[in-house]
Structure 1
Amino acid sequence: MTDPAAALRRELGGFLRAHRDRLAPADVGLPTAPRRRAAGLRREEVAALSGVSVA
């Protein structure tokens, strides 16, 4: 039996990850670093743009 709350958290996490991956830092006015491990915005960048804490 699975926890419905855990399933919702996984689904939300996948949704947020997919949408972060679609944006580049330059798309939202952030400076681009010479090397990034993954395409898209980092959680910290999304939080800063949103005005909320990462934690």
Structure 2
Amino acid sequence: MKVSHNRLDKQLFDHKDEYMHVVERVLDSGLFILGPEVNKFEDNFAKHNNAKYRLD
């Protein structure tokens, strides 16, 4: 039996519009490093992992 572990193509297809919107927003801002999207990601990542602190 073949078991599919990671179907990244399906995940991309299901959320492609959302991902592209965020990519466009980052590209339009010109802030690829230490911009507001990075801060938002780091906050969400820390919360998801129950981290007491995050790197800045």
Q: Same fold (TM over 0.5)?
A: no
Q: Which has the larger Rg?
A: 2
More helix by percentage: 2
The higher-RCO structure (CA 8 Å, 6+ apart) is 1
TM-score, normalised with respect to structure 1: 0.29
